Amino acid sequence: MKFIDLFAGIGGMRLGVEQAFGDSAECVFTSEFDKFAVQTYKANFNDSVVHGDITKITSSEIPNHDLLLAGFPCQPFSQAGLKKGFADTRGTLFFDIERILKYKKPKAFLLENVKQLKNHDHGKTLTTILEHLNTIGYKNTKYELLKARDFGVPQNRERIYIVGFSDKSIKFTFPTPLYQKTCVGDILEQDISDKYTISDRLWLGHKRRKLENRKNGKGFGYGLFNKESEYTNTLSARYYKDGSEILIEQQGKNPRKITPVEAKRLQGFPDSFKIPVSDTQAYKQFGNSVTIPVIKAIALEIKQAINIS
């Protein structure tokens, strides 16, 4: 089963697919723009050839493949297509997925995006994406919102997944959530460096902003967790800035940020996954990545669907 990895980041989608398909999976093309993400990707995957900006790569340069993977950024379609009308995808990065699917016609694709895509521009963006996929031959397409914490990972991360097949007769269903009990203590390291403990000034600022938000009826603010907590808030790419969304309680001192290793575990990456970059880049990369067990569960359903058909 040959696949390509677009907007690859650090290879989270690839890792989940390889776990599902085993030795039968072969990545034949990778594209990623960010140089630090490429550094991490190359440190963890043996083939190490990572192509750059997908907008500058023609469809004919991409090898034949069975499955296309893409965790693509979501830009406002309505702004990008102002002159062409809303239904035009040019000017958005989804266009590059669309042109490759149209030209190479793989059996299947798996796309991932933030949950806000479902309601972006009153649902018009998702409708546009589905219409374009249908037009280029992927009439057998489904989407679903899935939560990381429903697949054994202690993180309240919800993402939209879109799966499509060129063969209309293929029967595919999204994986059933496991609903197994999760615990933040399972991902925590021991003997943490004091550098991850937040300063008095930052801690006071977090508490002040939470009080102000509460007064204004917003309800936003820092998230405080301990080893007994079922799950954390969603890890974001901006976590490196102040760590406010996920703070870990400490006895007798200020809370601390999670470590890069804990961020890795919070996304379901194995401990063997190498982190060759700074803490700042690591937080960005894991915050931008996917939750491996969710991708694996979807990929197993794709594998079964293709094999049964």
Q: How confident is the model at residue 118 (pLDDT cuts 50, 70, 90)?
A: confident
Q: What is the pLDDT of residues 223-252, one digit of tens each?
A: 999 999 999 999 999 999 989 999 999 999
82-96, 116-130, 170-184 — most confident range: 170-184
Q: Is the pLDDT of residue 101 over 60?
A: yes
Number of helices and strands in the chain (H, E): 10, 9
pTM of the model: 0.92
Would you give the DSSP letter of residue 155?
Answer: B
pLDDT of residue 308: 46
Greatest Cα pair distance in the chain? 61
For residues 120-137, average pLDDT: 88
Contacts 24+ apart (CB under 8 A), 59-63: 59/99, 59/100, 59/102, 59/103, 59/104, 60/103, 62/4, 62/29, 62/100, 62/103, 62/104, 63/2, 63/4, 63/28, 63/29
Average pLDDT, the chain: 91
Q: pLDDT: is 137 or 72 the higher one? A: 137
Q: Are strands 140-147 and 158-165 parallel, antiparallel or unpaired?
A: antiparallel
Is the pLDDT reported for residue 3 higher than 80? yes
Sign of CA pseudo-dihedral 121, 126, 128, 129: positive
Q: Say if residues 32 and 9 touch (Cβ distance below 8 Å).
A: yes
Residue 309 has pLDDT above 80, yes or no: no
Model confidence at 273, in pLDDT bands (50, 70, 90)? very high
Q: Annotated catalytic residue: which of 43, 74, 130, 192?
A: 74
Q: How many residues does the chain have?
A: 309
- The pLDDT of residue 180 is 86
Instruction: Give residue 35's pLDDT.
Output: 96
What Cα–Cα distance (Å) separates residue 293 from each residue in 35, 60, 124? 26, 33, 30
- Cα 243 from chain centre: 19
> Per-residue pLDDT averaged across 32-55, rounded?
92
CA 31 from centre of chain: 15
The model's pLDDT over 19-35, given as tens digits with 9 standing for 90+, comes to 999 999 999 999 999 99
What is the pLDDT averaged over residues 101-124? 90
What phi and psi values does residue 166 have, to the nearest 5 degrees?
-75, -25
Better-predicted residue by pLDDT, 216 or 9? 9
Q: pLDDT grade, residue 86 (50/70/90)?
A: very low
Nearest Cα neighbor of 70 from 144, 5, 157, 137 is: 5
pLDDT at 41 > cutoff 90:
yes
pLDDT band at 76 (very low <50, low <70, confident <90, very high): low
pLDDT over threshold 80, residue 47: no
Structure-model confidence comparison of residues 260 and 116, the more confident one: 260
| CA dist 170 → 25, 225, 307 (Å) | 20, 43, 9
Instruction: Provide the CB-side half-sphere exposure for 226 (13 A, CA).
Output: 5
Q: Is the dihedral of CA 195, 197, 200, 202 positive or negative?
A: positive
Q: Which residue has the higher pLDDT, 172 or 89?
A: 172
Q: Which domains does the chain have, with CATH numbers?
A: 2-177+290-308 (3.40.50.150), 184-285 (3.90.120.10)
Chain mean position to CA 135: 26
74 is catalytic: yes
List Cβ neighbours of 197 (8 Å cut-off, separation of 6 or more).
250, 253, 254, 255, 256
307 pLDDT higher than 70: yes
Structure tokens at 300: 């197993």
Distances (CA, A) of 120 to 117, 156, 298: 5, 20, 24
Contacts of 45 (CB under 8 A, 6+ apart): 11, 14, 27, 30
